Amino acid sequence: MNPENEWVERARDLAKRFAPRAQAHDREGSFPFENFAELREAGFYGLTVPRAFGGAEAGLGTYLAVLEELARADGSTALAFMMHLKTFGQEREAPSYPPAWFERLCRGAVERGELVNTVATEEGLGSPSGGGVPDTFAVREGDGWVLRGRKTFTTLAPVLHAFIVLARLEGEIGPGGRPMVGNFLVFRGEEGLRVEETWDSLGMRATGSHDVVLDGVRLPADRLLNAREAGSPDPRAGAGMAWFALGLCAVTIGVASAARDYAVAFARERVPNSQRPIREFPGVRTRVARIELLLQRSRALTRDACGAWERRETAGMPPIDRVAAAKVETLNACIEAVDLAMRVVGGVSLQRSRPLERYWRDVRAPLHNPPLEDRALEQLARRALDDAFEAPKGAE
């Protein structure tokens, strides 16, 4: 068995244990601590960590396949774990952190079971890549920094060891006249850092995406991992988008596949009023066929974008545009697929005792993760309409 298949099989085995727990965690909005303990025990914390630091250094394709398997069982666990894994994948490809700190994060994941995630979102921030400036700020004080602010959507908050916090560098202006922003490394337990359990969402209810409050957190100077002018390109460039956006695609496909499996099993078994199975009804067959088409298209787009990114293809649509296209099309296709699965099952699909209503809620959540659809579409339009252009020549 090749290494990729081995990781996928191990993820599939874990998923069998995660699935029976998913409903209760969703209902309660509780964090699946036991799932993460089993992921750690099975070695997954180091899946995308470089081999030099003890990790498996799994490629983008393996990462996506693992996430899809986990999401078929529990979308919240898959989405939350994605946030940890993508940190190492994107940093491997586009280093932006001081090497010593990156090594510490890597070894912490592999040797001590420490989880990490970026902490960027705020109530009124909007998109940092679009020029949004965080209210969270860092002030130089002596030989270090003091951080103050509040962050939302801090996925994995109950178990994070390392918080990579985006903040405005108070009083510092970049060459373009915009404020400077930077990412700071903050560890759990540091004075002034606290988690407030605010997460109560429609979907992905078990990701533990609570608020984080930074109330005068004092850090040495070297905890500033990187800095840039607001609105300027992220130092991780396309690597950050590829690992994040395609990870969302894999999670969404996993959730939609679980809905497909449930609807297909229901259609095979459901025989109303001693009639024929509903799988024989033309409407049911048409809807199931449409689900199959949507999932196949989603996987094809995601795999195409993954392969183009890994090979750095130069022919055809640029890899980063394929990532944007895959994110937009996959999320919309998977939402439609789950909607169709609900129609196959009928009114009982609304019952909370059945998993379909959870899939319906969970599959929508990644719509609100970057790149947002409007920004992704603008990226594609800009390439076609604004970049250098050579008119097609007539046939000779």
Asked if the structure places residue 396 within a domain, the reply is no
The β-bridge partners of 164 are 118, 185
Instruction: Specify whether 242 is located in the same domain as 374.
Output: yes
pTM, to two decimals? 0.95
Count of domains observed in the chain:
3
Instruction: Specify whether 69 is located in the same domain as 96.
Output: yes
Instruction: Specify whether 364 is located in the same domain as 287.
Output: yes
Task: Using the 3D structure, point to which of 201, 229, 257 is the last residue of a domain.
Answer: 229
What is the per-residue pLDDT across 283-318, written as a single tens digit (0 to 9) for each? 999 999 999 999 999 999 999 999 999 999 999 999
Mean pLDDT of 328-349: 97
**Cα–Cα nearest to 330, from 380, 381, 373:** 373
CA 214 from centroid of its chain's CA atoms? 24
Please provide the distance, in angstroms rounded to a whole number, between the alpha carbons at the two ends of the chain.
Answer: 52
Task: Using the 3D structure, point to which of 58, 84, 113 is the last residue of a domain.
Answer: 113
Asked if the structure places residue 394 within a domain, the reply is no
Asked if the structure places residue 395 within a domain, the reply is no
Asked if the structure places residue 48 within a domain, the reply is yes
Give the domain range for residue 68: 3-113
The β-bridge partners of 26 are none
What is the per-residue pLDDT across 186-205, written as a single tens digit (0 to 9) for each? 999 999 999 999 999 999 99
Instruction: Specify whether 140 is located in the same domain as 91.
Output: no
Q: What is the distance between the alpha carbons of residues 229 and 76, in angstroms, rounded to a whole number?
A: 33
Instruction: Specify whether 122 is located in the same domain as 100.
Output: no
Task: Using the 3D structure, point to which of 210, 229, 248 is the last residue of a domain.
Answer: 229
378 pLDDT band, cuts 50/70/90, is: very high
Instruction: Specify whether 181 is located in the same domain as 305.
Output: no
In the numeric block, which tokens belong to residue 70? 């986990």
CATH number at residue 304: 1.20.140.10
pLDDT at 336 over 60: yes
pLDDT at 130 over 70: no
Comparing 236 with 82, the larger pLDDT belongs to: 82
Instruction: Specify whether 205 is located in the same domain as 253.
Output: no
**Cα–Cα nearest to 122, from 237, 213, 29, 233:** 213
Please give the mean pLDDT across all residues of the chain: 94
CATH number at residue 161: 2.40.110.10
Asked if the structure places residue 392 within a domain, the reply is no
What percent of the chain has pLDDT above 90?
88
Instruction: Specify whether 243 is located in the same domain as 341.
Output: yes
Asked if the structure places residue 198 within a domain, the reply is yes
394 pLDDT band, cuts 50/70/90, is: very low
Instruction: Specify whether 350 is located in the same domain as 242.
Output: yes
Asked if the structure places residue 287 within a domain, the reply is yes
Q: What is the 3-state secondary structure (H, E, C) of the chain?
A: CCHHHHHHHHHHHHHHHHHHHHHHHHHHCCCCHHHHHHHHHCCHHHCCCCHHHCCCCCCHHHHHHHHHHHHHHCHHHHHHHHHHHHHHHHHHHCCCCCHHHHHHHHHHHHHHCCEEEEECCCCCCCCHHHCCCCCCEEEEECCEEEEEEEEEEECCCCCEEEEEEEEEEEEEECCCCCEEEEEEEEECCCCCEEEECCCCCCCCCCCCCEEEEEEEEEEEHHHEEEEEECCCCCCCHHHHHHHHHHHHHHHHHHHHHHHHHHHHHHHHHCCHHHCCCHHHCHHHHHHHHHHHHHHHHHHHHHHHHHHHHHHCCCCCCCHHHHHHHHHHHHHHHHHHHHHHHHHHHCHHHHCCCCCHHHHHHHCCHHHHCCCCHHHHHHHHHHHHHCCCCCCCCCCC
Q: Which of 17-26, 110-119, 387-396 has the lowest mean pLDDT?
A: 387-396
Instruction: Specify whether 374 is located in the same domain as 275.
Output: yes
Instruction: Specify whether 241 is located in the same domain as 225.
Output: no
Instruction: Specify whether 109 is located in the same domain as 135.
Output: no
What is the per-residue pLDDT across 37-92, written as a single tens digit (0 to 9) for each? 999 999 999 999 999 999 999 999 999 999 999 999 999 999 999 999 999 999 99
Dihedral, CA of residue 376, residue 378, residue 382 and residue 385, to nearest 10? 130
Asked if the structure places residue 393 within a domain, the reply is no
